[in-house]
Structure 1
Amino acid sequence: MTKMRPMDRRSQPFHGPTPLVMVKGAYDRAGGPETVLQTIVRHLDRERFPPLLALLAGAAQPLPPVLGDLVTRVPSAVLPWRGLGGAPGSALQLARLLDERPGAILHTNDMRADLLAWMITRVRRVPWIAHVHGWLRHTHSGRHKLYEDIDRFLIRGADLVLVGSSAMAEEVRLAGGRRVEIVSNGIAAAAPTQHDAEAAAIRQRIAPGGGLLAGILGRLHPGKGQALLIEALPRLRAGGLDIAVVLMGEGPAEAEYRALADRLGVGAHVHFAGLVAETLPWLRAMDMVCVPSLKDSLPLTALEAMSVARPVIASRAGDLPLAITDGEHGLLVEVGSSAALEAAVERLARSPALRAELGEAGRQRLTARYTPEAMLRQLEGYCAELIVERGPDRGAQR
């Protein structure tokens, strides 16, 4: 495989405006792909890459809040999604949007979008970037596992597959991706204190009696490891710590987690916040943020916590060990170990100084490596390379 090197956009030859058609299924209320799209929309060079956001939604299905906000910020279209059987019709409508934008690049962000791109690129020459935000593999079940298996097949047809970590890059290569490159996720690091008033109000609402808060932000799903922290909580409290767990998000495992907390006798100390509209004040309200994923790439949750100077405890999954040096920018624990997570939480709980030190060091790490500007330079550089490779015949059919 030829290694592609992203060019700094300031030194790229300008080939004229090239539309970037971003496609995403409108089914998750909030998650990593939606956050990545937010970053792209806010920081994309629109003069060079005029954007269109195409969302695939079921009949009468309201758009999730994050995507609903995005359609007010960027030219958008909503295409019907009637399941796998109706995909050819949706692909035809997407093809018509491409016809209106000669020379466009397709940028897809999930299995539904990948399926439409695969169908279109079988019959016409359209540069296709498949952005894979993560596969959960063994932590998935049922139809979700089937969809991931389908996606593994589809991405083989993409001209370029972008991922957020080296671990994910290797997985995509093993699945048959022809050209795989890394675009590191980027998070803006504003002054953490700007969220302090909202954070204080959140703490007063969910923990009026005080005490420490250990939070996890993300979809309530077995692969995210929330159960490990719930299992550790009784032992932490038995050891004399006044600490509660806050789960920020929603998902299929919520009933399971509520039952687990009740069974362990800590139901009153596990707060289910549901979907939070603005994540940064909630993260700032935590004394520590846990990312105990059983399988992951480089989750945005960790970067968002670092952006507001909150100490992160993360599993050694995916590229988390590359973003966080254990003991310097946060704490790392073994994947799937409730005991290891407990020990790390206790260590931070008993040392306010260490929490402050790791929180600030993590924020400095973020600003040095994981900025939106760096992310967009990489993405735009790869788009520019595809333009060059496509050559002058920008409307050619296969």
Structure 2
Amino acid sequence: MRVLHIITGLGVGGAEQQLRLMLRHLPTDSDVVALTNAGTVAQGIAADGIRVTDLGMSGNRDLAALPRLVRIIRAGRYDVVHTHLYRACLYGRIAARMAGVRAVVATEHSLGDSQMEGRPLTAGVRALYLAGERLGRVTVAVSPAVGARLHRWGVPRQRIRVVPNGIEVERFRFDPASRAHTRRHLRLPDGAFVVGGVGRLAAGKRFDVLLRAAAQLPDDVVVVLVGSGPEEPELRRLADRLGLGGRVRFVGESTHEESRGQGADVPDLPSLLSAMDALASPSPEEAFGLALVEGLASGLPVLYASCPAVEGLDAAERSGAAYCPSDPDSFARALHGLRGDVPPHREAPAAVRHYSISRSAGQLMDVYASVAPGPTLEVTPR
């Protein structure tokens, strides 16, 4: 089965890294098109042996990109076109139809109650999204919460399939040696209680809440923020105003694997998680909560204001995860309760096995088979 994945960009981000990981576990002949910003993740996908094309779109209204995309789809003779992220879903669905491909799947990675990929959900955004959605066959939601939002918008239930994000569980297993090395690399004080925040440094992630919470805690509490984004300058200024200058580390973007060349001074994400003592997500509106699942796989206690991946599990399976309202006082109290209670050996809760990437790949292959009837390769979930 030949599948073309179309994604808005391939810089470091959750949807982008999820695509790379999924491609490794799908038994398909796949190519990838990035509409713009074929960055770090594109390089990794190409290194994995998958062809990546940068369409070079100059902006949301670069309509000249559409015929170029149609030509790529026709030339590739793809059985399925799979789109990811808002702009790619719109252009990709239209191009696939123009190219004569009817087996069109889209994954909705980032739909919240009030925003999508950081853009406010205005009536215009919603109308354009629904118009494009009708050109596809199936819309994949990364969590039941996203599926419910899609249905409230007007997407018929029979067109929605839930395929959760996945991780390589063993890749995130706690590593004491990596912990020691990474803490030295980040120049963390001996005995520091390290609270991590992982994600795009954007307003919706509310990392300002985490900084304000840390300002209420003893001096041995250090915050490590992993990611980049438009809010980084303001977060740095806030840290200075709160007197946290020496207690915050802005690590920058981190991939799931050891980096080489440019950016190689940033440890990979599993190493950074091993170096932490707790992971916090003050964002009140998440589509899945992949970073928190990765934290749980590393044996970390996690605090969240919103995490459909955890909220969808039975209470008995939520070991290590706790809800916390998205305000500084609540996060300060919760983190104070965790401080000093770090186990010498960390084990991942059984719940993370729900999110094995192999299992998710198998579910996605079922989706492909439903839209492109014919012989398909099987994936055996691990």
State the TM-score, normalized to the length of structure 1: 0.81
Aligned length: 356
Structure 1 residues 68, 157: CA separation in 2 closer, same or farther (over 3 Å shift)?
same
Match of 2:310 in 1: 320
The residue type paired with residue 365 of structure 1 is: A
Q: CA RMSD in A?
A: 2.7
Q: 2:277 aligns with which of 264, 267, 287?
A: 287
Match of 1:13 in 2: none
Match of 1:310 in 2: 300
Secondary structure of 2:224's aligned partner: strand
Structure 1 residues 117, 249: CA separation in 2 closer, same or farther (over 3 Å shift)?
same
Match of 2:377 in 1: none
Q: 2:220 aligns with which of 242, 247, 251?
A: 242
Secondary structure of 1:352's aligned partner: coil
Structure 1 residues 109, 335: CA separation in 2 closer, same or farther (over 3 Å shift)?
farther
Using the TM superposition, give the Cα deviation of residue 67 of structure 1 relative to its aligned residue in structure 2, in angstroms.
1.8
Using the TM superposition, give the Cα deviation of residue 176 of structure 1 relative to its aligned residue in structure 2, in angstroms.
2.7
Equivalent residues of 1:214, 1:244 under 8 A apart: yes
Identity of aligned residues (%): 24
The residue type paired with residue 140 of structure 2 is: L
Match of 1:383 in 2: 368
Using the TM superposition, give the Cα deviation of residue 323 of structure 1 relative to its aligned residue in structure 2, in angstroms.
4.4
Match of 2:332 in 1: 342
Equivalent residues of 1:326, 1:332 under 8 A apart: no
1:42 aligns with 2:21: no
The residue type paired with residue 181 of structure 2 is: A
Equivalent residues of 1:131, 1:163 under 8 A apart: yes
Structure 1 residues 144, 388: CA separation in 2 closer, same or farther (over 3 Å shift)?
same
Alignment of 1:49-128 (within 5 A): 49-57=28-36, 63-73=38-48, 74-87=50-63, 89-123=64-98, 124-128=100-104
Structure 1 residues 193, 380: CA separation in 2 closer, same or farther (over 3 Å shift)?
closer
Match of 2:263 in 1: none
Which ranges of structure 1 fall in alignment gaps of 5 or more residues? 1-17, 390-398
The residue type paired with residue 173 of structure 1 is: H
After superposing the two structures, state which structure 1 stretch, 102-111 or 334-343, moved more.
Answer: 334-343
The residue type paired with residue 161 of structure 1 is: T
Equivalent residues of 1:54, 1:76 under 8 A apart: yes
Deviation sequence 1:134-182 (CA, Å, 0-9, x none): 1246467996767954445422432111011111111112223241111
Secondary structure of 2:31's aligned partner: strand
Which ranges of structure 2 fall in alignment gaps of 5 or more residues? 256-267, 375-382
Equivalent residues of 2:193, 2:340 under 8 A apart: no
Match of 2:351 in 1: 365
d(CA) in 2 for partners of 1:104, 1:51: 10
Equivalent residues of 1:111, 1:148 under 8 A apart: no
Using the TM superposition, give the Cα deviation of residue 348 of structure 1 relative to its aligned residue in structure 2, in angstroms.
1.4
Match of 1:272 in 2: 250
1:24 aligns with 2:7: yes
Alignment of 1:130-145 (within 5 A): 130-136=106-112, 138=114
Equivalent residues of 2:306, 2:323 under 8 A apart: yes
Match of 1:216 in 2: 197
d(CA) in 1 for partners of 2:325, 2:174: 34
d(CA) in 2 for partners of 1:138, 1:106: 28
Equivalent residues of 1:211, 1:242 under 8 A apart: yes
Structure 1 residues 133, 143: CA separation in 2 closer, same or farther (over 3 Å shift)?
closer
Match of 1:172 in 2: 150
Match of 1:4 in 2: none
Using the TM superposition, give the Cα deviation of residue 50 of structure 1 relative to its aligned residue in structure 2, in angstroms.
1.1
Structure 1 residues 310, 91: CA separation in 2 closer, same or farther (over 3 Å shift)?
same
d(CA) in 2 for partners of 1:139, 1:385: 30
Equivalent residues of 1:317, 1:335 under 8 A apart: no
